[in-house]
Amino acid sequence: MSSRHLSSSSQAAVSFGSGYLPGFLLPPLAVIVIGVALMLVSLGTTLTPVSAEIQSSDQANLLSPVFTPEVQYWAGRIRTWAVESGLDPNLVATVMQIESCGDPRALSRAGAIGLFQVMPYHFAAGEDPYSPDTNALRGLDYLKRSLQAAVGDPRLALAGYNGGISVIGLSESNWTAQTQHYAYWGNGIYKEASSGAGQSPHLQEWLSANGVSLCRQAHDRLGISP
């Protein structure tokens, strides 16, 4: 609220309170009461929408509790990266969950690196691929491009992140088994996280299939207490 607004409200109150109303003169106490009341009305109508907007923004940036402790370890950074990339924090967390379970030193047999399992050719010369911020920058840029190619469909975007953006235009029967599983688990986890659920059956299924060892490695790497 600007000082001009406050000043104008105060002047209006003083002008109204110090004048005459038909038939009588307002006593000094009434002048003060009316002036304070007008200022409170002015403040209330101006501040309420701002508070609601801040509350809505904070709510939108909350990370779902369904993700494992290793991913929750990165919650603050995930929210920052999501804002910087213009992506939903829960979508970012879903990709981290499946790719590395939060292990910043993860390295796949195919050579994918770090938290978001980014292939080496996506990094610029001199960049540290294991740096969480750098890895997020490159990985989430690809995820954002995949989401755009998928016209906002998270399931197709996840398939594109795993199998390459070109698979988005292919029949799913032409996707590799790995990409089909990735889209199935990822989309399920993301939907459950976005719904406000307290747990994710798809995440539990992923853990049972092949995620437990990945998360155990991340758990040890991050030094998380049992």
3 state SS of 116: coil
Compute how many other C-beta atoms are within 10 angstroms of the C-beta atom of residue 93.
Answer: 27
> 53, 70, 99, 205: which one is catalytic?
99
Task: Kindly tell me the sign of the dihedral angle through the C-alpha atoms of 63, 74, 117, 58.
Answer: positive
Residue 118: strand pairing partners: 113
**Can you list the alpha helix ranges (DSSP code H) found in the chain?**
3-17, 28-60, 69-72, 75-85, 89-99, 132-149, 154-163, 177-194, 201-206, 212-222
Residue 25: strand pairing partners: 20
- To the query of whether residue 99 is one of the catalytic residues in this protein, the response is yes
Is residue 147 within 8 A of residue 95, CB to CB? The reply is no
AA identity, residue 174: N
AA identity, residue 194: S
Residue corresponding to tokens 């990339």: 85
Residues 139, 141: Cα–Cα separation, whole Å: 5
Compute how many other C-beta atoms are within 10 angstroms of the C-beta atom of residue 190.
Answer: 26
Residues 127, 162: Cα–Cα separation, whole Å: 22
Residues involved in catalysis:
99
